[in-house]
Amino acid sequence: MMRAVTIEQFGDPSGMVVGEAAAPAPGPGQVVIETEAIGVGGVDAVIRRGTLSGWGFSPGLVPGSEVAGRVTAAGADVDPAWVGRRVWAFTGTSGGYVEQAVARVEDVAELPEGLSPVDAVTLGSSAPVAHFALTHAHLTPGESVLVRGAAGSIGIAAVELAAHGGASAVAVTTSSAERGERLRALGATHVLDRAGEGDPGAPAAYDVIIDIVGGPGTPDFIDRLAPNGRLVVVGAIAGMPPADFGTRLLGAFQQSRTFSTFSLDTAPAAALEVVRAEQFAAAARGELHAVVHEVLPLDQAAEAHRRMDAGTVFGRIVLVP
């Protein structure tokens, strides 16, 4: 048996329960990982709230999508040399808040020396999302970038990667001056409030906007695009944009602005593997920063979600068994 967190009732974090579950056995093409760190992501909170009820989630779901630890068993058609290795793994849209997780071997990456399991789950999904979102936006050196909702792990990675990529300006929206200063230390050049205001020296319009927030404010940020500007939505922690948000694009037809979404599900598997390995190596060298807000025990998963709902998290909360 093992401990596992399940969502017994969708809504507020009180619907999350810590209990026991049968220890898993690997199926064909799978490995079992004894978890040493579990990432708590924004999508976990969105699922727990019931916002994605149309996706087929039902009570009893184990939340969590990424873990790090040591492989303890390998299924059929898996190289047994995986057993004993330190790895990061993607478990899908569920299955991560457990003491022993199952993942497809193609969703597993070996950790380099010098990278902790906690740092691995802070970067393992977030940094590739930021990388491919900026690629999806066709960011080139000398262009300006705005990261909307920059205090989370995806936003922090986007700030660092845009700065490293030669952006002429990297503006961020965040909720406090203290967060703004921390983002400046990671490469931000302008700090704005959640509405995108507050810095008179910031660009009036942006070549690229990475939007992690979504919700009713999305059209206002479409208006902040420069001619030929590109807005890429990679998250919707504030919900869906209004149904008529596209009228903002048509209303500025002559500006040739672009709106798109990006999901890591569409990244080519081979390219994703290379990028994640490069980012893990960069983090081990101290060139990419895993910003951990707090490490909590697994049985405080509901508290981790309360803190996310309160908007007090900077970086990522990580659970440990």
Boundaries of every domain in the chain? 2-110+291-320, 126-265
Q: Please report which helix (H) or strand (E) contains residue 22, including its range.
A: none
Cβ pair 204, 141 in contact under 8 A:
no
Structure pTM? Answer: 0.95
Name residue 76's amino acid: A
The fold adopted by the segment(s) 126-265 is Rossmann fold (3.40.50)
pLDDT of amino acid 53: 64
Of the chain, the percentage scoring pLDDT greater than 90 comes to: 93
Q: In angstroms, how far is CA 77 from the centroid of its own chain?
A: 30
Distance separating alpha carbons of residues 125 and 67, to the nearest angstrom? 10
Phi first, then psi, for residue 126 (nearest 5°) are -65, -45
Measure Cα distances from 249 to 22, 191, 254 in Å: 51, 25, 9
The chain-wide mean pLDDT, for the chain, equals 96
Q: In angstroms, how far is CA 167 from the centroid of its own chain?
A: 21
Is 2-110+291-320 a CATH 3.40.630.10 domain?
Answer: no
What is the tens place of the pLDDT at every residue in 102-153?
999 999 999 999 999 999 999 999 999 999 999 999 999 999 999 999 999 9
Which two structure tokens, joined as six digits, stand for 137?
């936006």
Query: What angle in degrees, to the nearest 10, is found between the helix axes of 126-136 and 153-164?
Result: 50
pLDDT of amino acid 236: 86
- Which residue do the tokens 């009732």 mark? 9
Res. 51 pLDDT band, cuts 50 70 90: confident
pLDDT at 54 over 70: no
